């Protein structure tokens, strides 16, 4: 009588139990490794964020949590994706527990890969189960933790917490960059709105519309590229603004419209040309064009006396317009001459041409107004881009400014007497030619005490003379050093209402005079006195004193052209643009 065959599923239970233990041990290895991979990657990113203005602390924290979660998923996936067959588990058990191929053989016999007598199969399975029951799983397959990996992981977590909690030295720069990016995006939206406005302006011809859209589209495409620095964005906006202002200047009809209003009085008093004269008085080119065309159609219905009177009025109007719009004046004069000669057809043709010219002037006026409006919005946008991020940059530079002030304080620690002496010296250097002392401006530029009375800087009195540079760091009422004097006006203004711009004198046709100077005069020029009985010019409130806004655009465009064409370090271009942006008249003025 044969013994009952042990069930094979008992061996399968052992194998499943051992495989679960094996998987748990793998989790203890790969979970910390996955976390460590994510955390170390986050540490590298955090270090890079403190070296370059890439991410703020909040973003670093979010990225760290995300990478840690991804690392955890990676470690879990590595374990779960390692699926083992029954044969592989049996081989693992034989190797790990020293079962001498018992489990593997039992599985092979059960699956039929090895054929033998049933009695031998039963005995082999019985022996395998006996040995398997003796396996001490906790001893043979202990759950171990790699203490070094966990220590590294904890260190990485500590570094990340420190990186998130401590202030990032690149945060202010990053904030400035984001402010500039946002300002550029806002200017893109502004340009798109201007393009739509121009496209829907029915007063513009197709050619005029294209000429207005071209600089705007070029600027928008460059801004949308997304790789422009603040200086490059400012240059792009300045270029578009300059082209639009040139377009507005080329199509400016202000003088023609003003003269047209005066010249329309004569025609307005004539019953037959009253509508044309009133349109001229109103400065309405479009209405005047329509009225001129209607008058041309009415000419055949007028009597000879009415035509003669109209001819005199047209001739008088043409004479009034000859200085501002010769083309329109010639057409009106031709109509008057044709009426005087009784040639109604020629007069009609001339008035039709005048109607077309008036319509063209209306288009030019619409173009100039649209271009001026677009240029003004670009100018405002350029100021916003220039001012974007300045708060963060100012905060980032406070340490350097404080260090410079400390150095100036150490160099100037000679007591109150030394400071007063230096200021007195600067005051002497700033005396005008008649011996009076130039009063100091209280706009925050202490170094202006050294300005010369004959300064002719086109940028106004917000800069400084050579003597004023020697006095930097002294006379500051607000204690901020002489940064405003060295780099331009301080925030909030600092310019005067007008600047001195001398009229150029052409001396190319003047004969020269040879003057022989004595050795004493060469050695000491102040002892020479007047040369050839000439004395220094005393400047007063002549025409050379003009509002600074009239010359600001010329100097700004010249400076921007120099920035685009000359080799100037990128780090210095921003100061030039900020300087001219600070000179822009306030919208509240």
**What's the DSSP call for residue 446?**
G
- 452: pLDDT strictly greater than 90: no
Q: What is the pLDDT of residue 544?
A: 56
Distant-in-sequence, close-in-space partners of 31: CB < 8 Å, separation ≥ 6 = 72, 75, 76, 79
Domain extent at residue 105: 9-165
Are 178 and 81 part of one and the same domain?
A: no
Q: How confident is the model at residue 1 (pLDDT cuts 50, 70, 90)?
A: very low
- Residue 403 inside a domain? The answer is no
Are 137 and 180 part of one and the same domain?
A: no
The 10 Å Cβ neighbour count of residue 316 is: 16
Residue 571 or residue 67, greater confidence: 67
pLDDT in tens, 17-44: 888 888 888 888 888 889 999 999 999 9
Picking from 87-96, 202-211, 296-305, 507-516, which range would have the lowest pLDDT averaged per residue?
507-516
The winner for highest mean pLDDT among 142-146, 443-447, 460-464, 483-487 is 142-146
Picking from 232-236, 301-305, 514-518, 548-552, which range would have the lowest pLDDT averaged per residue?
514-518
Q: What is the pLDDT of residue 195?
A: 92
Distant-in-sequence, close-in-space partners of 60: CB < 8 Å, separation ≥ 6 = 42, 45, 46, 49, 160, 163, 164, 168
pLDDT in tens, 83-111: 888 888 888 888 888 888 888 888 888 88
Residue 374 or residue 420, greater confidence: 374
Q: What is the pLDDT of residue 119?
A: 83
DSSP 529-581: --BTTB------SSTTEEEHHHHHHHHHHHHHHHHHHS---HHHHHHHHHHHH
**Domain count of the chain?**
2
Are 119 and 213 part of one and the same domain?
A: no
Are 37 and 73 part of one and the same domain?
A: yes
**3-class DSSP assignment, residue 431:** strand
Q: Which of 165, 193, 223 is the last residue of a domain?
A: 165
Are 312 and 362 part of one and the same domain?
A: yes
Q: For residue 269, what are the CA distances in angstroms to 9, 149, 260, 263?
A: 121, 101, 15, 11
Picking from 110-124, 185-199, 262-276, 350-364, which range would have the lowest pLDDT averaged per residue?
110-124
- Residue 4 inside a domain? The answer is no
Q: How confident is the model at residue 548 (pLDDT cuts 50, 70, 90)?
A: low
Q: What is the pLDDT of residue 461?
A: 36
pLDDT in tens, 292-340: 999 999 999 988 899 899 999 999 999 988 888 899 999 999 999 999 9
Q: How confident is the model at residue 516 (pLDDT cuts 50, 70, 90)?
A: low
Q: Which of 165, 197, 232 is the last residue of a domain?
A: 165
Name residue 499's beta-bridge partners.
Answer: 546
Task: Give the integer Cα–Cα distance in Å for 378 and 382.
Answer: 6
> What share of the chain has pLDDT > 90, as a percent?
15
**What's the DSSP call for residue 499?**
E
User: Judging by beta carbons within 10 Å of its beta carbon (0-12, 13-18, 19+), is residue 438 exposed, middle or buried?
Assistant: buried
541-570: b (≥16 Cβ within 10 Å) or e: eeeeeeebeebbeebbbebbeebeeeeeee
Q: Are 270 and 277 in contact (CB under 8 A)?
A: yes
Mean pLDDT of 157-179: 84
Are 193 and 131 part of one and the same domain?
A: no
Residue 456 or residue 307, greater confidence: 307
The 10 Å Cβ neighbour count of residue 346 is: 15
- 546: pLDDT strictly greater than 80: no
- 166: pLDDT strictly greater than 90: no
- Residue 362 inside a domain? The answer is yes
Q: What is the pLDDT of residue 349?
A: 92
Q: Are 369 and 232 in contact (CB under 8 A)?
A: no
Mean pLDDT of 553-559: 76
- Residue 37 inside a domain? The answer is yes
- Residue 571 inside a domain? The answer is no
**Helix, strand and coil percent figures for the chain, each rounded to 5:** 70, 0, 30
Are 113 and 197 part of one and the same domain?
A: no
Are 70 and 138 part of one and the same domain?
A: yes
Are 188 and 323 part of one and the same domain?
A: yes
Q: How confident is the model at residue 73 (pLDDT cuts 50, 70, 90)?
A: very high
> What share of the chain has pLDDT > 70, as a percent?
69
What's the whole-number average pLDDT of the chain? 75
- Residue 45 inside a domain? The answer is yes
- 489: pLDDT strictly greater than 50: no
- Residue 150 inside a domain? The answer is yes
Q: How confident is the model at residue 229 (pLDDT cuts 50, 70, 90)?
A: confident
The 10 Å Cβ neighbour count of residue 49 is: 21
Distant-in-sequence, close-in-space partners of 381: CB < 8 Å, separation ≥ 6 = 183, 186, 187, 190, 237
Are 324 and 183 part of one and the same domain?
A: yes
Nearest to 540 by CA among 461, 449, 453: 453
Mean pLDDT of 36-63: 88
**3-class DSSP assignment, residue 500:** strand
- Residue 511 inside a domain? The answer is no
Q: What is the pLDDT of residue 568?
A: 65
Q: What is the pLDDT of residue 499?
A: 60
Are 207 and 155 part of one and the same domain?
A: no
Q: What is the pLDDT of residue 455?
A: 38
Residue 146 or residue 475, greater confidence: 146
213-249: b (≥16 Cβ within 10 Å) or e: bebbeebbebbeeeebebbbbbbbbbbbbbbbbebbe
Distance between alpha carbon 461 and the CA centroid of its chain, in Å? 28
Are 142 and 19 part of one and the same domain?
A: yes
Q: How confident is the model at residue 477 (pLDDT cuts 50, 70, 90)?
A: very low
Q: How confident is the model at residue 530 (pLDDT cuts 50, 70, 90)?
A: low
Q: Which of 361, 377, 393 is the last residue of a domain?
A: 393
């Amino acid at each position: 009588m044969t013994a009952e065959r042990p069930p094979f599923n008992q061996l399968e239970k052992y194998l499943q139990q051992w495989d679960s233990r094996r998987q748990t041990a793998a989790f203890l290895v790969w979970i910390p490794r996955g976390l460590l991979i994510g955390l170390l990657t986050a540490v590298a990113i955090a270090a890079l964020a403190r070296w370059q203005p890439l991410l703020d602390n909040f973003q670093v924290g979010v990225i760290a949590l995300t990478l840690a979660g991804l690392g955890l998923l990676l470690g879990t996936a590595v374990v779960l994706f390692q699926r083992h067959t029954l044969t592989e588990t049996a081989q693992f058990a034989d190797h790990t527990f020293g079962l001498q191929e018992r489990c593997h053989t039992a599985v092979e016999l059960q699956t039929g890969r090895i054929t033998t007598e049933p009695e031998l199969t039963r005995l082999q399975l019985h022996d395998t189960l006996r040995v398997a029951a003796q396996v001490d799983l906790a001893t043979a397959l202990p759950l171990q933790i790699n203490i070094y990996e966990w220590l590294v992981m904890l260190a990485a977590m500590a570094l990340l917490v420190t990186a998130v909690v401590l202030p990032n030295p690149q945060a202010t720069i990053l904030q400035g960059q984001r402010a500039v990016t946002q300002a550029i995006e806002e200017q893109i939206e502004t340009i798109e709105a201007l393009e739509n406005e121009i496209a829907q302006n029915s007063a513009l011809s197709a050619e005029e519309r294209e000429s207005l859209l071209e600089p705007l589209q070029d600027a928008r495409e460059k801004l949308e590229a997304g790789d422009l620095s603040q200086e490059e964005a400012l240059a792009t906006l300045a270029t578009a603004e300059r082209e639009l202002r040139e377009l507005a200047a080329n199509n400016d009809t202000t003088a023609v419209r003003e003269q047209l209003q005066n010249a329309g009085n004569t025609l307005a008093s004539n019953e037959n040309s009253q509508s044309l004269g009133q349109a001229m008085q109103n400065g309405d080119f479009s209405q005047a064009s329509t009225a001129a065309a209607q008058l041309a159609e009415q000419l055949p219905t007028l009597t000879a006396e009415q035509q003669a009177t109209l001819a005199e009025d047209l001739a008088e109007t043409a004479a009034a317009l000859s200085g501002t719009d010769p083309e329109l004046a010639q057409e009106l004069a031709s109509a008057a001459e044709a009426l005087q000669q009784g040639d109604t057809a020629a007069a009609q043709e001339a008035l039709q041409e005048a109607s077309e010219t008036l319509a063209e002037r209306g288009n030019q006026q619409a173009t100039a107004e649209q271009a001026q409006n677009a240029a003004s919005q670009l100018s405002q946008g350029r100021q916003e881009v220039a001012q974007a991020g300045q708060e963060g940059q100012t905060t980032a530079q406070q340490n350097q400014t404080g260090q410079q002030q400390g150095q100036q304080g150490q160099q100037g620690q000679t007591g109150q007497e030394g400071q007063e002496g230096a200021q007195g010296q600067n005051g002497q250097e700033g005396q005008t030619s008649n011996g009076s002392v130039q009063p100091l401006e209280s706009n925050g530029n202490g170094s202006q005490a050294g300005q010369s009375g004959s300064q002719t800087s086109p940028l106004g009195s917000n800069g400084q003379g050579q003597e004023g540079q020697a006095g930097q760091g002294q006379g500051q009422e607000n204690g901020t050093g002489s940064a405003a004097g060295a780099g331009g006006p301080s925030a909030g203004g600092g310019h005067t209402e007008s600047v001195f711009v001398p009229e150029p004198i052409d001396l190319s046709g003047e004969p020269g005079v040879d003057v022989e100077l004595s050795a004493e005069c060469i050695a000491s020029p102040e002892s020479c006195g007047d040369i050839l009985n000439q004395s220094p010019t005393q400047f007063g409130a002549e025409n050379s004193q003009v509002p600074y806004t009239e010359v600001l655009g010329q100097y700004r465009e010249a400076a921007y052209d120099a920035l685009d064409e000359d080799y100037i370090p990128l780090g210095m271009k921003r100061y030039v643009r900020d300087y001219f942006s600070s000179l822009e008249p306030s919208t509240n003025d």
